[in-house]
A and B are shown apart, each in its own frame.
Chain A
Amino acid sequence: MDRPFGLLAELTYACPLHCPYCSNPLNLGDYCDELTTQEWQRVLAEASELGVLQLHLSGGEPLQRRDLVEIVRSARGVGLYTNLITSGFGLSPRRAELLRAAGLDHVQISIQADEPTLADRIAGARSFERKKAAARLVKSLGWPLTVNVVLHRHNIDRVDRILDMAADLGADRIELANTQYYGWAWRNRDGLLPSRAQLECAEATVRARRGRLDGRIEIIYVVPDYYSRYPKPCMGGWGRRQLTVVPNGDVLPCPTAHALPLPRVSVREHPLAWIWERSPLFQRFRGTGWMPHPCRSCGRREIDFGGCRCQAFQLTGDAARTDPVCHLSPDHGLVAAAVRAANSDTQPARTPLTFRPHPDRPVKG
């Protein structure tokens, strides 16, 4: 069995922003009994022993955890590469210096657009200027910075200006990530899915800018799977390279797998190694033995691993089916219909979006 390389630690689902493309679960209130500092420290030590090398600290907004500095220090203590995935909200100069001293390796700040009106509208909060200040703070402390912009129908036409902004902020890398439709993004899919013309235009811009910005800023472009012929190799295969621990200690092979009708498993009840190696949840879709047709006989079965189990479940009600994104899937019509709607003249451009709320939770740490 492979050892996991990466651990996504979703420390809390508390977040000052309300982005409608958020992939957090809809039942945010069920995750308020958050792991304590000591519990996270135990998880990090167990993860390192299991072979995890990278720790992605995310949420929600991880800066909402008061013990974030302590968690980073513990992670570095057991040798993990630490990556903070943040909105930038709550990154004061003092906090940033403490995180730097604790050994935080890398910071990724999400920004919603290149200008305040649109960015703040998407975030559901006044945040644009504070995010830019946080990005500058990160660079002033000598940290490598990745700017992440989630792309959708409402900002994808601005990729050129978004790249200008990232370069202006001194970002080392910019990740242009097309929305993946889970959690709140799934609820808002029809209002977020861009048209084919929008995508083609954005991709042409990315190609042109890659040539011009070469050597100065790395552009990472995350493809929109609804427009792909083949599905994404979700998490590099179920229970193969990555695992996620969510705020209440549940462990998942992928951050959106809580939606699947599978037995839950928690670090509060089992050691992480047992969960990875033995738990029914992690074994359920590991390898290729579970695969249905057409995956079972497909030459790409070890490339995309049948695609995303959560997407299969969402679209068909059966997590063990081929990801309907694949053009070979018998259910591909479900994706094709959504794409058709996004490209029809009658598609209401102003489909109302549901903004994710802020979960009430006791403060930990």
Chain B
Amino acid sequence: MPSTMPMPIDSDAGRPRLAPHVRLTFDPARQRYVLLTPETVTVLNDTGAAILELCDGERTVAGILTELHARYDRVVDDEVRLFLTDLLAKRRVEVSDG
């Protein structure tokens, strides 16, 4: 279906943030970060949670990558972009330009 085609994060200048109906929270029962929408729960790994915590609508994708590189030894930029692209397609994340 056309709507499920991932829209690429076409520019590192985009500023991602969580969509209004989405909440990122720590689940004490499972000891994991989770992304919540009205009908879905996405259990995140630590890297996923770290990326999303940086999606504040102010940092650019480039800024997020810089921050991740400063924190972690092994960051694959394209994997971060792919992760965000997937969440954009699922409407968990929105991006404003420039």
Contacts and interface: CB of A to CB of B under 8 A. Distances in A.
A203 to B, nearest CB: 11
A79 B25 contact: yes
Interface string A196-208: 0000000000010
Given A5-B41, A54-B41, A81-B23, A211 B2 contact: yes
Nearest to A81: B36
Interface string A268-294: 000000000000000000000000000
Interface of A: 3, 5-6, 48-51, 53-54, 56, 79, 81, 83, 105-106, 108, 142-144, 146, 172-173, 207, 210-211, 214-215, 218-220
B2 A214 contact: yes
B38 A146 contact: yes
Contacts, number: 58
Contacts of A5: 41
Nearest to A142: B20
Chain B interface helix/strand/loop/mixed: loop
Interface stretch (B27-35, B47-55, B56-64, B65-73): B27-35
Contact of A172 (B2, B20, B34, B41): B20
27 contacts: A3-B30, A5-B41, A48-B29, A49-B29, A50-B29, A51-B30, A53-B27, A53-B36, A53-B41, A54-B36, A54-B38, A79-B28, A81-B36, A81-B38, A105-B21, A105-B38, A108-B38, A142-B20, A143-B20, A146-B38, A172-B19, A172-B20, A173-B21, A207-B1, A210-B3, A215-B7, A218-B91
Interface residues of B, number: 19
A104 to B, nearest CB: 12
Given A49-B29, A51-B30, A219-B3, 16 more contacts: A3-B30, A53-B34, A53-B41, A56-B38, A79-B28, A81-B23, A83-B38, A105-B21, A106-B21, A142-B20, A143-B20, A146-B38, A210-B3, A211-B2, A214-B2, A218-B91
A172 B91 CA distance: 10
